[in-house]
Amino acid sequence: MLDISVIVPVYNSEKYIEKCLDSLVSQTIKSYEIIIVNDGSTDGSLNLIKKYKNNNIKIISTKNNGIGVARNTGLKHAKGKYVVFVDSDDYVSSLFLEKMLNTATSKNADIVICDMYKVFDADTLKDNKITFKNGNIKDNKEQLINIPLGPCGKLFSKTILTSLFAENLKYEDVPFVVSALLNSKNTIKLNEYLYYYIIHDRSETTSMDERVFDILKILRMANSSLSKHSFLKEETEYLNIVLLSRYNLQQGKQKKKELKIKFLNESFSFLNDNFPNWRKNIYFKKEPIFKRIIKTHKLLIRLCWFIYN
């Protein structure tokens, strides 16, 4: 069995894919594979990928089904003991796999998480340091709210991956990572910056359109799993508050007035229906009072939109 399967979903990434693959083929370990899922790219991505004559690379081409389906396709073909996800516009340190693997084996970890740099225009770097207590989520409940719920910058033991990515939805990674955290007996932080996350105008995280409503469906899926773990009640509630408050405020970027007002109303209804006492959440009450006041009042959120514009 290979040590690690690296899954790289690709869709129209010709501007970034070479830097991504250059960083992956130059890893300092040997026992790994790179599974590239070409998700129906219509630019020159596939031609650039085919230039890499490397026995570690496996290319799977499909029609365009979205990143959730692409990642699930990669998982179905993964032969490694561990799985890593790298987005096609990102890149990693040459020591990324070696250090993640060494940490997993030496600490008997099911998940290893490293720090990452956010890379802006002109290669400007910004630290994105992650802080949480090592161990399992039952003993360290705040892992749920302190660990980013994206799959990148993480190494997963394949034995804990009992859930797939949501398909045909934005924010597809949240239920997947939540499931992995719930299954992990030991989640370890590696205090090194090994992953470089590219921020650009076309990033999924910066686009704002009607797909923002997918977060409500995604939270229902995640909450369904979390509801079986009553010890995480406060953390589950706060996770919902954080995500919905974030996207409420981001609706200032949404140009369609009817969409952003609809999302604002539906997100408040979602919180009120599922967490009637959410305003009294123990973590939420630790936030600065000014921020809490804004997040709990629709009119103040709309005022923020006006100021933003």
Q: Is residue 75 part of a domain?
A: yes
- For residue 202, the model assigns a pLDDT of 53
Residues 8 and 126 in one domain: yes
pLDDT for position 122? 63
Cα 76 to the center of its chain, rounded Å: 19
Residue 205 pLDDT more than 90? Answer: no
On whether both 231 and 264 belong to a single domain, the answer is yes
CATH of the domain at 8: 3.90.550.10
Same domain, 33 and 125: yes
Report yes or no: 259 and 214 within 8 Å, Cβ to Cβ: no
The residue type at 157: S
Same domain, 226 and 165: no
Residue 125 has what pLDDT?
73
In a domain, 39, yes or no: yes
- What is the structure's pLDDT at 1? 85
92-143 pLDDT, tens digit each: 999 999 999 999 999 999 999 999 999 987 666 777 789 999 999 999 999 9
Report how many domains make up the chain: 2
Q: Which of 144, 171, 198 is the last residue of a domain?
A: 198
What are the tens digits of pLDDT across the range 137-195? 999 999 999 999 999 999 999 999 999 999 999 999 999 999 999 999 999 999 999 99
Q: How far is CA 172 from CA 130, 165, 206, in A?
A: 21, 6, 15
Alpha-carbon span 205 to 170, nearest angstrom: 10
pLDDT digits (tens, 9 = 90+) for 280-297: 999 999 999 999 999 999
Distance, in Å, from the CA atom of 283 to the CA atom of 268, rounded to the nearest integer, reads: 18
What are the structure tokens assigned to 61, written together?
A: 């081409």
Residues 194-203: tens digit of each pLDDT: 999 998 765 5
In this predicted model, what pLDDT tens digit does every residue of 229-264 receive, in sequence order? Answer: 999 999 999 999 999 999 999 998 888 999 999 999
In the chain, the N- to C-terminal Cα span, in Å, equals 54
Percent of the chain with pLDDT over 70: 96
CA angle 85, 22, 90 (to 5 degrees): 40
In 3D space, the residue among 95, 71, 103, 99 whose CA is nearest the CA of residue 6 turns out to be 71
Same domain membership, residue 135 and residue 60: yes
> pLDDT exceeding 90 applies to what percent of the chain?
88
Q: How many CB atoms lie within 10 A of CB 190?
A: 22
Q: Residue ranges of the alpha helices (H) in the chain?
A: 17-25, 45-50, 67-77, 96-107, 143-146, 173-183, 214-226, 233-250, 257-274, 289-295, 298-308
For residues 142 and 264, state if they share a domain. no
298 pLDDT above the threshold of 70: yes
Statement to judge: residues 136 and 222 lie in one domain: no
- Pairing between β-strand 32-39 and β-strand 2-10 as defined by DSSP bridges: parallel
DSSP 13: -
Indicate if 29 and 171 belong to the same structural domain. Answer: yes
Give the pLDDT band of residue 206 (cuts 50, 70, 90): very low
pTM metric for this prediction: 0.94
- Taking a C-beta distance cutoff of 8 angstroms, is the pair 241, 281 a contact? yes
* 255, 285 contact by CB (below 8 A): no
Q: Are residues 152 and 251 in the same domain?
A: no
Rounded to 10 degrees, what is the CA torsion of 127, 132, 134, 140? -160
With respect to residue 204, please indicate whether it lies within any of the assigned structural domains. no
Work out the mean pLDDT of the chain and round it to a whole number. 94
| Residue pair 127/153 in contact by the 8 Å Cβ criterion | no
Structure tokens at 66: 């979205």
> Exposed, middle or buried: residue 1 (CB in 10 Å: 0-12, 13-18, 19+)?
exposed
Give me the domain span that covers residue 269: 210-308
